[in-house]
Amino acid sequence: MANYSIVFDQVTKTFPKAAKPSVYETSLQIEEGSFVTILGASGCGKTTLLKMVNRIHEPTSGRILVQGEDVTKVPITELRRKIGYVIQQIGLFPHMTIEENIATVPRILGWDEQKINERITFLLELVHLSPADFRKRYPRQLSGGQQQRIGLARAMAGNPSIMLMDEPFGAIDAITRTSLQDEMINIQKQLHKTILFVTHDIDEALKLGDKIVIMNNGVIQQYDTPLNIITNPANEFVSRLVHSEDVLQRLSLLTAESVMTAITGSIDPREVKVGREENVKKVLMHILNGAADSVVVVDSNQTPVGRISLAELKIHGTSKSVSAS
Ligand SMILES: Nc1ncnc2c1ncn2[C@@H]1O[C@H](COP(=O)(O)OP(=O)(O)OP(=O)(O)O)[C@@H](O)[C@H]1O
Ligand SMILES: [Mg+2]
């Protein structure tokens, strides 16, 4: 049985005096260690969904489980200790230095100074800001992108197993944004957090997510892998959302590793090989040029780790199978 880090069980949220629910009858199971992006238009309920996990909002009906426990049954401080929260406006404390900002939660947790210092160094290196340069600066002495990195470091300071990230890169220019996305992918490879990441950028959702939740009007339209979202949209809404631009272009956002079926053992040496970081658009080209119906994915030592077949990459598959579950 899969290990679920967060479970939404028939969750509905209707704000007082609201004409209709902001989140409606939502059930969702988030696997431990997975990176899930939540995509949808402004006002569709993304933030509301997120804020019910750390109990900034309470559901009107339904339940939310975090690591198997009903969130209403755990003391709120204990719950929030397991959950890092990053928002677009960053919210660094302006009168505190970078190191004091990052140390906020560890201090509350009563860590000793040496452990806190080591943690600050570790986190600054993780987000690629030199500790010597940045520890003593104030937030106003940092660029927007650097402040966002500190926001991320601060949210991870107490080593939470879950990260809620609400459009963390929304206010950042395209170039910095791309590099923050790449850093996020690397951080996740090292730390294996469970991440719920809200965005309204389709490319960002496809690039970062192991799975994507697509919402419209408070209702989940599809919860699926990026490949399935692109190749097997569950309904007209999803289809219009992801196919508003070139499908091949979208496939180029996915890596071979993210769509392959894992294999072990030896392969036919004549088979076409691609690296695990290769993008799926190129993989498709390899398959079409190689006149074979599949390619082998290899790691940096040329060891076979997976296979991608044409059948799996079929665009607009006939079976409109998977929907939200
Ligand atoms: N505190 C609140 N009181 C009343 N209504 C609210 C409250 N917070 C959100 N809403 C309403 O709930 C709906 C969903 O809002 P939410 O903030 O979850 O949207 P969102 O998908 O995060 O949008 P955006 O992309 O603009 O951030 C909206 O119609 C909003 O007006
Ligand atoms: Mg929002």
Question: Residue range 138-144: average pLDDT?
Answer: 90
In sequence order, which ranges of the chain are alpha helices (DSSP H)? 46-53, 76-81, 98-108, 113-126, 131-134, 144-156, 174-191, 202-208, 226-231, 236-242, 247-251, 256-259, 280-290, 310-313
Contact 13, 52 (CB under 8 A): yes
What is residue 159's predicted lDDT score, i.e. its pLDDT? Answer: 87
Domain 4-246 has CATH 3.40.50.300: yes
CATH 3.10.580.10 occupies which residues in the chain? Answer: 255-313
pLDDT band at 245 (very low <50, low <70, confident <90, very high): low
Q: For ligand 1, atom 11, which residue shows the shortest CA distance?
A: 22
- What is the C-alpha to C-alpha distance for residues 259 and 262, in angstroms, rounded to an integer? 9
| Residue 210 pLDDT exceeds 50 | yes
| Mean pLDDT of the 266-287 span | 86
Instruction: Give the side-chain half-sphere CA count within 13 A for 169.
Output: 22
Ligand nearest to the CA of 87: 2
Residue among 17, 47, 165, 219 to mutate when testing ligand 1 (max atoms within 8 A of CB): 47
Phi, psi (rounded to 5 degrees) for 143: -75, 170
Q: What is the pLDDT of residue 237?
A: 92
- Ligand 2 centre distance from Cα of residue 110 (Å): 33
The atom of ligand 1 lying closest to the CA of 48 is: 18
Q: List every span in the chain annotated with CATH 3.40.50.300.
A: 4-246
Q: List pLDDT tens digits, range 48-70.
A: 999 999 999 999 999 999 999 99
Question: How would you label 100-133 residue by residue, b for 16+ Cβ within 10 Å and e otherwise?
Answer: bbbbebbeeeebeeeebbebbeebbebbebebee
Q: Name the CATH topology of 255-313.
A: CBS-domain (3.10.580)
Residue 222 CA to residue 305 CA, distance in Å, equals 29
What is the pTM assigned to this prediction?
Answer: 0.84
Nearest to 232 by CA among 245, 217, 242: 242
Q: What is the mean pLDDT of the chain?
A: 88
